[in-house]
Chain A
Amino acid sequence: MAETSDINCKSAGCASVGIPTSDVVEWFVREVLPLEAILMHFLRHNWRGQSDIEDLRQDVYVRVCEAAQKQLPEQAKPFVLMTARNLLIDRVRREQVVPIEAAADLEALGLAMDAPGPERIIIARDELRQVQAALEKLPPRAREAVVLGRIEGLTGREIAHRMGIAEGTVSEHLANGICILADLLLGEPSGPRLKK
């Protein structure tokens, strides 16, 4: 097993130096993910190609985590937005196509950066409403699978039986539902989540 973990370390998946990976992951979930709506707003605003916006988001997250492995940033929000800005600038330099005004927008976001994360203060009822609203936006079959699994507590096999479809199809619906829910719950500005 020692050999495999050496190989993994080279591919930067595990922490060979600095902050333990589990701490970085915990920091990422706690501090960075709640900023996703702000990050997506920033990226959409400053990047013309909308099709690869998920790739940009992913790259920002990877960069942020790699950097956090050396040292956890004191404040997540300016760090994430600065990383996003640098990424966009790198892209522009490399591709020399898309003009951006990232700097200007970053200043506009500066106000929000100073505030102590009001976007994380979510009232339970709003949370429920948000989750319900997200659920209703799922494609019908994915929604049905998620409702049966999450709310009625059925297993995958029982969902397949109830919906009268193959188990593999249930997996696809569930995975699809999970992806869309994440985009809706994390990335979409709604209510108190995105305060400017």
Chain B
Amino acid sequence: MSGSQTPAALSAREIDARAADWLQRREFWDWSDADQAALDEWLAQSWANRVAYHRLEAAWSRTNRLAALSGYKRENEEERGGARFLLRAAAAFALVAVMGASAAVYIWQPKAKAYSTGTGERETLSLPDGSQIELNTNTSLRILATPTERQVWLDKGEAYFSIMHNPKRPFTVWTANKRVTDIGTKFVVRQDASRLELAVMEGRVGVASASDAHSARNLQLSQGDILVATANASSVTRKAQRKIANDFSWRQGMLVFDDVPFSKVVAEFNRYSTEKLVVADDTAARTRVSATFPINGVEDFVKLAHRVLGLRVERRDGETVISRPQP
């Protein structure tokens, strides 16, 4: 405990400067495995190095929210009419004149546009660059396009992205915990309460945590890959082309199920309807189902549950309860 870890020659300030240099190199410049190895070696030299680096990294990662949160702020300011918008634009412009680069944060705010769909609705957005975004049921997102980048915040729900790739104008989708970057592709992102699902139909996408500074730890997904992520964990599986198409079938107004539990089928139908189905029986919930239904075909589904699976269907208090008949 003599504090001998700080090499006498270097002050805390000097170590900070070195740590900051590592961090900015990792963050903004080409970063190879050899660079990572060199950083690891430097970190392993002393706790002074480690402490300095992780301290800067932790603080730096908080600035990540700047982009994401300035998006949230925008939402309230949307759709209040053109005059208001012009006023804001003028104010933002004046700010830029006064404050210079820092005002880049503010000038963004009037530009993002919010879109949303209600339960059972679908909407297709065509962007000027030829990209398309399709919103599935009960979905909210915001789009911000500038000359240097295109960004979408998926606040809830599910959307299909068909992106015209442009390396000079990267396309990024922000979800609660992840940052998805297009590398020329078609993909679906679905954000439920705490779970993210990303399926790649064509091309490649990069996925990174939205909050940490390790931009080098960018996970690359390609055609057929499905990423499922919660706040703390994520996993990637690869599906055959035919199966992955099921994740996209809602775009044709269909729900395709391939050997999934009955409870999952019910949960899917419930996404599209204000009248909810409830499964009141564990065994029934676990029954595997393979079937294709139109999205609005909940009646057909309930009939099938009754006639083919022999389940009991009852209407109670605005819900449809599905259970097994008592023997």
Which positions 1-34 of chain B face chain A at CB distance < 8 Å?
1, 3, 5-6, 11-13, 15-17, 20-21, 23-25, 27-29
The CA of A58 and the CA of B45, in the complex, are separated in Å by 15
Shortest CB distance B315–A (Å): 42
Q: Is the CB of A175 within 8 A of B24?
A: yes
The CA of A146 and the CA of B316, in the complex, are separated in Å by 58
Shortest CB distance B124–A (Å): 27
Q: Is the CB of B6 within 8 A of A58?
A: yes
Residues of A within 8 A of B (CB): 4-5, 8, 11-14, 21, 25, 28-29, 33, 36, 52, 54-55, 57-59, 61-63, 65-67, 87, 90, 124-125, 127-128, 131-132, 135-136, 140, 143-144, 146-157, 159, 170-171, 174-176, 178-179, 181-182, 185-186
Q: Of B67-75, B83-91, B252-260, which binds chain A?
A: B67-75
Which positions 99-113 of chain B face chain A at CB distance < 8 Å?
99-102, 104-105, 108
**Interface size of B in residues (CB-CB distance below 8 Å):** 58
Q: Is the CB of B20 within 8 A of A65?
A: no
Most A C-beta atoms less than 10 A away, residue of B41, B99, B104? B104
Residues of B within 8 A of A (CB): 1, 3, 5-6, 11-13, 15-17, 20-21, 23-25, 27-29, 41, 43-52, 54-60, 62-67, 69-70, 72-73, 99-102, 104-105, 108, 146, 148-149, 170, 172
Shortest CB distance A10–B (Å): 11
Given contacts A54-B11, A151-B104, 11 further A-B contacts (CB under 8 A): A62-B48, A127-B65, A153-B148, A153-B149, A153-B172, A155-B29, A174-B20, A175-B17, A178-B60, A181-B59, A181-B63
The CA of A63 and the CA of B6, in the complex, are separated in Å by 11
**Contact A182/B21 with A57-B12, A66-B47 known, Cβ cut-off 8 Å:** no
**Which residues of A lie under 8 Å from residue B29 when comparing CB positions?**
155-157, 171
The CA of A127 and the CA of B60, in the complex, are separated in Å by 13
Q: Is the CB of B20 within 8 A of A178?
A: yes
Q: Is the CB of B24 within 8 A of A147?
A: no
Instruction: Look across to chain B and name the residue whose beta carbon is closest to the beta carbon of A187.
Output: B59
Instruction: Look across to chain B and name the residue whose beta carbon is closest to the beta carbon of A137.
Output: B102
**Contact A58/B52 with A149-B27, A171-B21 known, Cβ cut-off 8 Å:** yes
